[in-house]
Amino acid sequence: MSQSFSHTDRNYKGSGRVAARKEKSCMRRIGMEKAKEILRLSLTMGLSQREVANGTGCSLGMVNAVLARVKEAGAADPLSLNAKELGSIVYPAEAGRKKEEVDFQYIDREMKKKGITLFLLWEEYKVEHPEGYMYSQFCARYREFRKQNSVYMRKVYKAAERVLVDWAGLTMKYSGRDGAEQTAYVFVAVLPASSFLYAQPFSDMKMESWIEGHVNAFEYFGGVPRLLVPDNTKTAVTKAGRHEAELNKTYREMAGHYGAAIVPARPHSPTDKAPVETGVQIVERRIIAKLRHSRFLSLEELAQAVHAEVESLNDQPFQKLPGSRRSVFVSTELHELSRLPSRRYEYARFKQAKVGFDYHVALDKTHYYSVPYRYAGREALVRWTSHTVEVFCGGERIACHVRNTDPRKRFMTEPSHMPESHRAVADWSPGRFISWAAKTGVKTKAFIASLLERKEHPEQAFRTCAGILRIASTVTNERMEEACAQAMAHNVYSYAHFVKLLENSQRQEPVIHGNLRGSDYFKGEGNV
């Protein structure tokens, strides 16, 4: 208790305003535990101020200031003081003055901006109000402010960081083309940083509607947030998991097109979905319930009514905060969103398919598309839109076609996909073979048509048809017609069997020659 305080007067003598500012700066960074440790090492252990500074990790000026203030207070036993009593000595100005209140509405708006932290805002506040709240008090008061706010959420969401998407639990009604009542399902997207929302009714909750809802929401927002946060709906997640989810291929491709990442909400984690559930609840109460008595003659008419209500909702002022969803969105989020790509995403479907030995893949039961012949027999991924068909193998695109919707044209074959031996007959077609057969006769035409129909792909019968029709040029039309009739009667549709059938019929036919004498030659007068 006999430690001298002489260094205090010497170090601060003649310092003036600079010393006072330095002292305040030092004292704002010290806690009561450090102050008690300074007193213990100095008064009990008898260490010098420099040794105390080294032992506590504080600056020499901070140690000097604490000891000076305790000395000025004239406390009989400084070590017995509790934290509150010691705080009133170390921070005498703060103990006797009312704190400068914080503009937490401004703080809340700034927190929505990228790169802004609560500590940074507190530092700015302390520069303007050196005697204001310490960081822990500042944070506690900010939390209290947000709890009292009607749009309070547990998490602080950064501007343009994410959009939360889901289907509303309530449905709407409209009249279909036949007058029957139809059900509409409402897609909801919410930007949690500003509470700006988008809603649109669809006739179903299938993948195509889910994708269209996202694309329309991005265009309504005027940009794309960095993350897409869906619930674990089947249209987004094919297999849910707490730590990893298997995403739908189309959904993942759409997100990639817009430069966004998909982070599904974790199962059984309400805090991940709180903003979108709040947004869904607002849409249900303020839009769906409001329009429940209105009659809509089409889905388009219903969509227009919902859009008008969304516009009104986004413009409506907050109850306990200045501005509206739209004003907060424009001031904090709009300029932070990523730009929309030049081309709108076109909905695509995917399927696994095996390339046939004729180097074509089946898109459906009636249309086939070629790939390079070397991929015959391999597994491929087919991607198709309303305009194009693409085929991938091993992650590489190996073919791209304009989509064919004509049921009469079943095969789309790119000549470069064919082997050299096939390109020579690339102009063959079922119609050409049938026309060729018709020149011989009706039965030949019927046989060739039947031969083409029996194959899964008509191209598989082209070589057989060509061989059989070449035979027609070596025999009479009558013999060819008879052979074709017999072939159909006996289900003979291979080239080898047709040739044998034609040869057998030729042997069974009697041969008539002028030099041959018949059985009548030996009867009557001609018999010698």
How high does pLDDT run on average in the chain?
Answer: 80
Residue 269 pLDDT exceeds 70: no
Q: At what angle do helices 249-257 and 207-221 cross, to 10 degrees?
A: 20
Architecture of domain 162-336: 2-Layer Sandwich (3.30)
Per residue in 405-442, pLDDT tens?
A: 887 788 888 888 887 766 555 567 788 888 888 989 99
Query: What 3-state DSSP class applies to 183?
Result: strand
Per residue in 126-162, pLDDT tens?
A: 778 877 888 888 888 888 887 776 444 446 678 888 9
Backbone angles phi, psi at 351, to 5 degrees: -155, 150
Per residue in 11-33, pLDDT tens?
A: 444 444 444 444 444 444 456 77
Residue 239 pLDDT exceeds 60: no
- Domains of the chain: which residue ranges? 6-96, 104-147, 162-336, 349-423, 430-508
Strands (E), 266-376: 349-354, 360-362, 368-370
- Give the residue, 499 or 517, on which the prediction is more confident: 499
Residue 422, CA distances (Å) to 359, 449, 473, 509 in order: 12, 21, 23, 39
Q: Which residues contact 417 (CB under 8 A, 6 or more apart)?
A: 359, 370, 371, 372, 373, 399
Query: What 3-state DSSP class applies to 338?
Result: strand
Per residue in 363-383, pLDDT tens?
A: 988 889 999 989 988 999 999
Q: How far is the C-alpha of 470 from the C-alpha of 449, rounded, in Å? A: 16
